[in-house]
Structure 1
Amino acid sequence: MEGLAKVYSGVLTLELHGQSLLDNLPVTQSVHLVMDAPWGYALWGLRSWPRPVLVVTGNPSPHYLRDLLDLSPDGLVADPIGPSELKEALVRISQGHHFYHLPRLEPDPLCPREREILRLAALGSTNREIADGLGLQAKTVENYMNTLLEKLGLRIRAQIPLYYFGLLESCQKWSGK
């Protein structure tokens, strides 16, 4: 019996390219590939997609990668690999193995609550929405935001999504800062 190999992506072109890559994949069990585009797509859907699943992302943010790992995908690729290695990873995952190809993650300077607030702010939640969702006072969330900005070397809250999605350096280079 041949297994199902399905691709999920928020970008149709990537989904089609991924499905083309998976055509004739020699798997006997189902396996699913998530092409994390736009960045954040995997965070939104990973809990609901069928397993086993391999996530491929280009997001270099260690906080984002940790948040993906917390969702326990069967595999996560965040460093470049070729099509043959990707196919091999999918076959291994379909056989019940795990596959992780990541940059070295240094110890996280953020506590779990700070990382949770960072993720929610990066995904567009206001301080009030974060406070209500986590059962915190608005002033407590404001204090967390100030601590996050300081720890991450950011000047303003608007930089949080850029930082979290690995785009801050690109924006700074583009703006000449």
Structure 2
Amino acid sequence: MIRAMVVDDDALVRLGLTDLLDSDPAIEVVAQATDGFHAIEQATTHRIDVALVDVRMPRMDGITATKHLRTLPHPPKIITLTTFDLDEYVYDALAAGSDGFLLKDTDPAEILRAVHLVAAGSAMLHPTAARRLIDRYHHTGRPQATQAQTRIAPLTPREKDVLALLAQGDTNADIAQALGMQESTVKSHVSRILTTLGVTNRVQAALLARDAGLTS
């Protein structure tokens, strides 16, 4: 059972997402929160596996909340929710430790799929929005490509192959099929990649790979 939390200051959005998540027999919404402070309180009280966190909220926004949630003894996986066209800080949320992001109007089936993927250790980035967002920040030159290239340099050629596919949003199963590897071997590679790069999750590794020009 995946224990979920919905964090949004809009009551209708909270209720809608809660009803959707509870419709999946493998997901249980154990907490709701109206802002970042409330989310941290709830995550301290309840064991949360996956938190869906809005970006723009009063008192404490989703980016700041993500940073704090990631420091908890048992940090939840985090999916950032965004309207995208209005939110300019999703890149910062991902860099803060979010495991992915979704548009609020994403198809309900995809939201459920995202929760399952993230709970299993994969990332979930809305395909079109992710590319547009990352490309936008790449054009501003942040972070520096040379710094990213230096950080990925210690990786083996095979690990770079895995990282390149990971950066495209492929799951462990997808990577295993593409590279002719066992899924357990892919998991081991991903673990070593995260450790070598000094990042906390697949999304941060993917952003670093893109910064380094490992994938388009």
- Against the structure 1 CA distance between its residues 96 and 27, is the aligned structure 2 distance closer, same or farther, given a 3 Å change threshold? farther
Corresponding residue of 2:120: 95
Q: Is the 8 A contact 1:10 1:36 kept in 2?
A: no
1:109 correspondence with 2:108? no
Flag structure 2 segments of 5+ consecutive residues without an equivalent.
29-47, 70-74, 144-216
Question: Which is richer in helix?
Answer: 2
Alignment partner of 1:97: what SS? coil
Within-5 A mapping of 1:22-171: 22-25=21-24, 26-27=26-27, 30-38=49-57, 41-49=61-69, 50-60=75-85, 63-78=88-103, 80-101=105-126, 102-103=129-130, 104=132, 105-106=135-136, 107-109=138-140
Shift of 1:91: 0.8
**Superimposed CA distance per residue, residues 122-177 of structure 1 (whole angstroms, 9 cap, x where no aligned partner):** xxxxxxxxxxxxxxxxxxxxxxxxxxxxxxxxxxxxxxxxxxxxxxxxxxxxxxxx
Unmatched 5+ stretches in structure 1: 113-177
2: CA distance between counterparts of 1:83 and 1:46?
23
Q: Does 1:12 align with 2:11?
A: yes
Distance in 2 between the 1:32 and 1:88 partners? 14
Q: Residues 77 and 4 of structure 1: is their aligned pair in 2 closer, same or farther, counting only changes over 3 Å?
A: same
> Percent identity between the aligned chains?
21
Residue in 2 aligned with 1:150?
none
Report the alpha carbon displacement of residue 71 of structure 1 after superposing the two structures with TM.
0.9
**Pair 82,47 (structure 1): closer, same or farther in 2 beyond 3 Å:** same
Q: Deviations over 1:9-33 (max 9, x none)?
A: 1223222222111104324982221
Q: Flag the structure with larger Rg.
A: 1
Q: Quick one: structure 1 residues 59 and 38, their matched pair in 2 at CA, closer, same or farther if it must change by over 3 Å?
A: farther
Report the secondary structure of 1:46's partner residue: helix
Q: What are the superposed Cα offsets for residues 44-102 of structure 1, whole Å, 9 maximum, x if unpaired?
A: 31122341111110133685122122112111124842111111111111111111112
Structure 1 80/13 Cα, relative in aligned 2: closer, same or farther at 3 Å? closer
Task: Report the AA paired with residue 98 of structure 2.
Answer: P
Q: TM-score, normalised by structure 1?
A: 0.52
**Number of residue pairs the alignment of both structures matches:** 111
| TM-score, normalisation: structure 2 | 0.44
